[in-house]
Structure 1
């Protein structure tokens, strides 16, 4: 699946490689000289068999580390199902019916189920978004959507993270979390305990936990990231009875599902994610072209940073990252926006984080650290002046941006630049295998 000629992913002739890159609800076309292309990075060629609801149902019949959900929930008076908001590609509408079938088999009625949207620091969902999230269960379940009545305090983790959980979630007899597992740039992977923390927790707790992102072990692909371990410690204090975590292919189909214990099932899904999206590279790129794959994952620059972070691994020092994403909702988070716009240089943003860790600012600093190594050309729907204020160079099309990047790199290097294309950059993780050639 990572060969250049895959149908629907990009194709090549003797002279060119043609690729379509997602940006919002549309695509932009890119044509490259074939001799310059290292590869068009897609998922590994892994066959999973069935997809969609069938996969979820099979997983629910065979949970990892727990009884079936129907047995966990039997006799309970209230169940809270926690799920992701629209900034995540989780197909809740696919997962919810089989989960509800299990709860019905336990004797749980629809009016005993609360669906909590794991907003973390994100905004509440609109009615149209809730309809899309819930599918056939829209209007049938009570919903918690940023309107909690209060918090329940469980103490603090050994790291000092306060464990405060939305009251309605805390008071449920049974808690079930739905999630998708993908790479996370400092928690290692998403899924599992992240539904509780930060999903239904507080800004203060999220900030305390995320402050560990500066630890060298807090990086994509580490199942034992200190950030992850702190989340799981908090989750044990609260109690999470059952998870349903899925792995999605590049077309956002469910190809794998792990259900059951919130640690063991999540780790199982992580291993499957690595099989699919852990991509070995043996050459660094002068130009990396990266997209999140379009909506909903490129709603704002704050979310687009995830693809940017994966692109930092293969780019050479002094190279260019062409970042493609709509950012239709702007920069996406107030602190992130303020830190970016108030700084005079990228180094100012990094220094700000060293003086003061603040949620939102942490992503600004992550972007700034990349800018200290490489230029970022941004193809988006943001105003040009706003893009420049974020120390990036705006371009109207990906073709224009890449042509400019290759021309500049050709001048700098005195040779033809080497290009890597990552059409689903938030999902595919380049695993660099270039001895003695680590970026600074």
Structure 2
């Protein structure tokens, strides 16, 4: 197979590699579900106490949701939570929706409208400067958005998907990182944590990063979460209730749907991203690091990763994205940057550390982008098309959805 399509922005781009031997890594994918119907059932029969057992009619409630970098169907999930809260006597005027940005940029009003629909008026962007301390881990303060800390009950939505450090995202991470302060991000995303045994993509068992964000989620008072997982077919499963149990259930669903057995020794891996993750280089580089630093690296020595990505936001506009750009664009080489960053860096810059780690062994090419200069400044290579980035005669592995494929 030499002709194929890969994601690019909200669409796809056609690729023709007639001189190459091409293999496509297609995970089983699972079957798409009706999100609203399944979410209602999950909330009514959760893993743990029901909302009616947790929330009183006079309680104020904070619902922490993911931001635009996660393709979570928050319009449906929030609507289901609000409907269930109303059933127990809690009305929308008692609810605040906090968008868990971490150190990403604030969402615009138009983006909030698109994400939350009729409930956008309840939403506020997280501000990491407007937090209060709610506990500590290993001497690290756990800070939480003031509105969330003041609420009587804390709920969250989220996406349980493969994550470079936590194994899978979702659960307590949405609140503790998304609506938290810089100290926890510095602790969990620092070089000491990221170098620990067990901190890796696709594994939550004995994962120190996952354990830290779960513990922090407890300190943040997260009572109940409603999470989903997805694959090539769309949303595959929904679970609700106690955060740890929800993540475990959905991680099992994701592993079953997203794992692919592959050979190694490829000259190039074409790693698809698509919207919303290809909006900026910070997010799009996940495709390369997931391939190179995952459980199984399919590349031969000297092989390359090719990432088609539009990058309308360039490196990215958030604090973390700008720190990522500053470190990479100011470096002379990946090896030098990796060694320098091992002594520490600011929260948000961890993606530069992980990219540098990957670039020590493999080159990364970003194609079809609106920001080729930014790519070149960040120790990577910019090409106009995938074809331009793949040498004739290469043995090529295509991973159409690199962020949601577990290579093993």
Q: TM-score, normalised by structure 2?
A: 0.92
Q: How does 1:7-406 map to 2 (within 5 A)?
A: 16-33=1-18, 36-38=21-23, 40-47=24-31, 50-64=33-47, 66-139=48-121, 142-146=122-126, 150-157=130-137, 159-211=138-190, 212-224=193-205, 225-251=207-233, 253-292=234-273, 294-312=274-292, 313-332=297-316, 333-401=321-389, 405-406=390-391
CA distance in 1, matches of 2:140, 2:301: 36
* Shift in alpha-carbon separation, 1:247–1:201, aligned structure 2, 3 A: same
The answer to whether the 8 A contact 2:334-2:357 is kept is yes
Tell me whether 1:430 sits opposite 2:407 in the alignment. Answer: yes
The answer to whether the 8 A contact 2:264-2:300 is kept is no
Aligned residues: 397
CA distance in 2, matches of 1:375, 1:150: 40
CA distance in 2, matches of 1:231, 1:61: 26
Gaps of 5+ in 1: 1-15, 408-415, 432-440
CA distance in 2, matches of 1:165, 1:310: 29
CA distance in 2, matches of 1:233, 1:176: 16
Corresponding residue for residue 434 of structure 1: none
1:380 CA displacement: 3.9
CA distance in 2, matches of 1:45, 1:120: 29
**Root-mean-square deviation (Å):** 1.9
The answer to whether the 8 A contact 1:161-1:209 is kept is no
Q: TM-score, normalised by structure 1?
A: 0.86
* Partner SS for 2:403: coil
1:234-288 deviations in whole A, cap 9, x for unaligned? 122221110111012325x322001000111111111111011122213332110
* Shift in alpha-carbon separation, 1:227–1:94, aligned structure 2, 3 A: same
The answer to whether the 8 A contact 1:378-1:392 is kept is yes
CA distance in 1, matches of 2:217, 2:128: 19
CA distance in 2, matches of 1:247, 1:137: 22
Query: Greater CA radius of gyration, 1 or 2?
Result: 1
The answer to whether the 8 A contact 2:368-2:386 is kept is no
Gaps of 5+ in 2: none
CA distance in 2, matches of 1:246, 1:70: 21
* Shift in alpha-carbon separation, 1:358–1:231, aligned structure 2, 3 A: same
